[in-house]
């Protein structure tokens, strides 16, 4: 009797069929294949919600019968992420509440050149510092700026300004503010000018790329003129702050502060009133994460300037801003 020749093809087919039967899940014991599970778990380990969503969507397309298990893994991940976010937010809030007076400040330092027309016509340097401290409800802002020029040993421009503004948020858009301001500009006719104010503000637009806020309130201003005279006036302050992120690296800003004096009373007396208006419009171009180039144009206007001074000064600045 001739020896039996093994049928390797048939044996392989039978073995493959047996393996397929063993691997094929029944409806009672359907399970997500290990490679697919490992792929989702690897995405979860990255901690990126977008990546997890994309991988889960792909797994669902190739394994539609395992949708419940895939959804469960994604829901567990999302719940864990939400818990972590809540813990981080609580820790951040606690850190803000317990921070010392000198902590949690951020700022911008500015330095550059300018060209002025009006009471002085020259070019020189300008420097500025802006500090902000944001709390849960309180925000504190400190602003300082100086412009200085000497030609042949003679000072042709010397302007110093300092502003401190705390505000308290009453709601998502409504806030109250206080303001203390000091200015010195002998070429505008005053050696010192002080103003204090307070009032109500409102965030008109608060979008990721567009912000617009306005504020108004009574003010009190004291001016020391270079002639040696001094006067005090009750005033009203109106402010406008506009920021527009045109692109990721290009930003348009506009700030308006108007102080209208009323000759010592709360009603406008046209003959003796003096209105000061500061308009500043700037275009910021981001050079790097910390460095920004800024081109700005400022108008300083007094309706009733001291004798010998003109009412309007303009200032064009090209500066570099460093965030810290």
Q: Are 110 and 92 contained in the same domain?
A: no
Q: What is the DSSP letter of 228?
A: S
Q: How long is the chain?
A: 324
Does residue 149 lie within any of the structural domains? yes
Q: Are 223 and 137 contained in the same domain?
A: yes
Strand, coil or helix: 323:
strand
Q: What percent of the chain has a predicted confidence (pLDDT) above 90?
A: 22
Q: What is the pLDDT of residue 143?
A: 92
* Cα→Cα distances 244→109, 172, 238, 249, 271, Å: 21, 20, 20, 11, 38
Domain count along the chain: 2
Q: How far apart are CA 284 and CA 291, in angstroms?
A: 10
Q: What is the pLDDT of residue 192?
A: 94
Q: Are 178 and 198 contained in the same domain?
A: yes
Last residue of a domain, one of 60, 75, 97: 97
Confirm if 177 and 203 have CB atoms less than 8 A apart: no
pLDDT tier at 109 (50, 70, 90 boundaries)? very high
Confirm if 240 and 219 have CB atoms less than 8 A apart: no
Write the CATH number for 160. 2.40.160.40
Last residue of a domain, one of 65, 97, 129: 97
| pTM reported for the whole predicted model | 0.67
* Mean pLDDT, rounded, for 129-138: 90
| Structural domain span for residue 123 | 105-323
CA-nearest of 176, 223, 220 to 202 is 176
Does residue 17 lie within any of the structural domains? no
Q: What is the DSSP letter of 77?
A: H
Q: Which residues lie closer than 8 Å to 203 by C-beta, 6 or more apart?
A: 172, 173, 174, 175, 211, 212, 213
Q: What is the pLDDT of residue 257?
A: 61
Residue 258: enclosing H or E segment and its boundaries? strand 250-261
Condensed to tens digits (0 to 9), the pLDDT of residues 254-300 reads: 666 666 554 433 322 223 457 787 878 888 888 888 899 888 888 88
Condensed to tens digits (0 to 9), the pLDDT of residues 166-218 reads: 999 999 899 999 999 999 998 888 899 998 999 999 999 988 888 888 888 98
Buried b (16+ CB within 10 A) or exposed e, 117-156: ebbbeeebebebebbebeeeeebbbbbebebebeeeeeeb
CA-nearest of 158, 164, 104, 165 to 135 is 104
Q: Which residues lie closer than 8 Å to 193 by C-beta, 6 or more apart?
A: 182, 183, 184, 185, 221, 222, 223, 224
């Amino acid at each position: 009797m001739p020896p039996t020749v093994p049928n390797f093809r048939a044996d392989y087919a039978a073995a493959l069929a047996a393996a397929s039967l063993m691997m094929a899940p029944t409806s009672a014991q359907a399970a997500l294949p290990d490679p697919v599970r490992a792929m989702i778990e690897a995405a979860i380990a990255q901690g990126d919600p977008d990546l997890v969503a994309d991988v889960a969507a792909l797994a669902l397309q190739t394994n539609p019968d395992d949708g419940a298990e895939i959804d469960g893994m994604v829901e567990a991940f999302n719940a864990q992420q939400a818990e972590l976010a809540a813990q981080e937010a609580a820790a951040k809030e606690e850190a803000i509440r317990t921070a010392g007076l000198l902590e949690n400040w951020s700022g911008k330092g500015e330095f550059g050149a300018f060209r002025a027309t009006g009471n002085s016509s020259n070019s020189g340097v300008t420097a500025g510092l802006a500090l902000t401290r944001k709390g849960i409800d309180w925000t504190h802002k400190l602003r300082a700026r100086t412009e200085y020029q000497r030609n042949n040993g003679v000072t042709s421009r010397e302007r110093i300004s300092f502003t401190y503004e705390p505000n308290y948020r009453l709601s998502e858009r409504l806030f109250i503010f206080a303001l203390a301001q000091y200015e010195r500009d002998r070429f505008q006719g005053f050696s010192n000018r002080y103003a204090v104010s307070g009032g109500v503000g409102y965030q008109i637009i608060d979008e990721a790329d567009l912000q617009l806020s306005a504020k108004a309130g009574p003010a009190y201003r004291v001016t020391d003129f270079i002639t040696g005279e001094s006067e005090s006036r009750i005033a009203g302050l109106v402010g406008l702050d506009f920021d527009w992120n045109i692109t990721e690296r290009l930003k348009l800003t506009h700030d308006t502060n108007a102080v209208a004096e009323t000759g010592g009373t709360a009603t406008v007396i046209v003959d003796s009133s003096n209105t000061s208006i500061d308009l500043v419009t700037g275009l910021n171009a981001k050079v790097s994460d910390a460095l920004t180039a800024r081109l700005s144009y400022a108008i300083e206007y007094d309706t009733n300037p001291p004798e010998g001074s003109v009412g309007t000064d303009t200032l064009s600045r090209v500066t570099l801003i460093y965030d810290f």
